[in-house]
Structure 1
């Protein structure tokens, strides 16, 4: 009799705690969903998966009683968390800012839209045609093309003037005419849009050839600071075409070589393994299944029928 009483008490304690366990599980699922939505790049996603595996292994080893292994895994988890804080500092900064403003839902919508953005072939054609014309006329130009995540404006010396216009060779050629007010700065291209013009970039501190002007050093400077972009440069003196990537210049380039390089770089960013579409379709399926399940419940169906009447 005593054993049955103890088992009954144990079952009651478990049942009393199930709402908290359910809430705990729901919060963990929401947190993982948020992380997966914010992260769309394949290598970063693998890194987060590795961190989650380490965390789970540490928790399991601690519960099983493997004290030494749990100690080592705990240290690895702490070190991995610190490393990820440095590597993903832009994402963490944006997440904390939006949480502080109470705009977490807006952050997820922005991240979803940004990960779905890709560079179609006609944008590459417009860029190459504009660069070719500017090179033939020996008109200096500096164009930043984002390849993955949006560039933080704090990485610029001066953010420039907002445009938000469709990319076209006529617009780019007009901006870099010496008679316009914005020709001295850089143009920022994001997806299919010219986001800003007249952007002032930080100058590279690396030792470079004396033949390189301010535009080339600015292109090297922004690509040193930001990995997710390439910079197209047209020399005003010689009309030569250069591309800056990772703080290094690829020069001189022909228009055909420039087209090949842009197609290779931008196709890599467009083909990255984004998890957002699958998550969105999964959330829609879960929502529809949840509605159908609620409608099958007696209380919900009776109240719905009363509402219709």
Structure 2
């Protein structure tokens, strides 16, 4: 009986050990993803595979060279990839290595909101027309393909430059996905709602149109008045102030996990459509 319990405990320790190692490796890969260290890992795998095959087939000279590379390569890695190692240690010191990725995602969303707000204020003040659509659950790949791929981190400078008059990509919509600016100069479907105010231009009709077929939040800056509007679920809200727009963006980007039954529109502004 005691032997069975000891064996069960041994197997339990092994399983926990494997799970912990897997978790640590996963977190390390998450840290180095998108850096030069990814190429380093590929190189290490190739060298280890070459060393194993050299020993297996009895290639003594090749095996000797691989052993030298592995022995002295550690020092070279420390020197060459010092920035990546420092970055990983900094994240470990901030408790991010074993923490949940949600905090990092929320920080990225906050930066995205700040960038959008800064760009909207700049364009509204100078009456620069803009059309920004934020993809939600309903995919917008069909509309993304009509534009020019950008796939860049969102910044106020990038958004503003895209919509500057006479810029190559200013005509059309910008589509955002997961805190990334995916494409610009995209064509959105125009709404055929006959009750839309005649004073609204193509941008507003496109914003309403895409909100009728997707769950995207679309923000529009009027070129004539500089007023900021937003559409969602086929509804257009006009002349929104900065605080209202920020609340809308926070609800979409920071509180997306909340129940969809919660009413989205709880703020002021003129409502059309």
Q: Which TM-score tier does this pair reach, normalised by the shorter chain?
A: 0.5 to 0.7
Counterparts of 1:210 and 1:244, CA distance in 2: 17
SS at match of 2:229: strand
Counterparts of 1:157 and 1:141, CA distance in 2: 16
**Cross-structure match for 2:245:** 258
Is 1:198 equivalent to 2:185 in the alignment?
yes
Q: Would you say the 8 A contact 1:158–1:200 is kept in 2? A: no
Q: Would you say the 8 A contact 1:158–1:201 is kept in 2? A: no
The 4+ residue runs of structure 1 with deviation greater than 4 A are: 116-119, 270-273
Is 1:148 equivalent to 2:165 in the alignment?
no
State the TM-score, normalizing by the size of structure 2: 0.53
**Cross-structure match for 1:210:** 198
**How far apart are residue 265 of structure 1 and its match?**
2.3
State the TM-score, normalizing by the size of structure 1: 0.47
- Structure 1 unaligned regions, length at least 5: 1-115, 274-309
**How far apart are residue 148 of structure 1 and its match?**
3.2
SS at match of 1:120: helix
2:224 to 207, 229, 237: 237
2:256 to 269, 272, 278: 269
Q: Would you say the 8 A contact 1:135–1:240 is kept in 2? A: yes
CA offsets per residue over residues 161-196 of structure 1, 9 Å max, x none?
000011000000000011211111100111121000
SS at match of 2:256: helix
Q: Which has the higher contact order (CA 8 A, sep 6+)?
A: 1
Greater helix content: 1
The number of residues matched between the two structures is 156
- Structure 2 unaligned regions, length at least 5: 1-103, 261-273
Is 1:187 equivalent to 2:170 in the alignment?
no
Alignment RMSD (CA, Å)? 2.3
Q: Would you say the 8 A contact 1:185–1:198 is kept in 2? A: yes
Counterparts of 1:272 and 1:216, CA distance in 2: 28
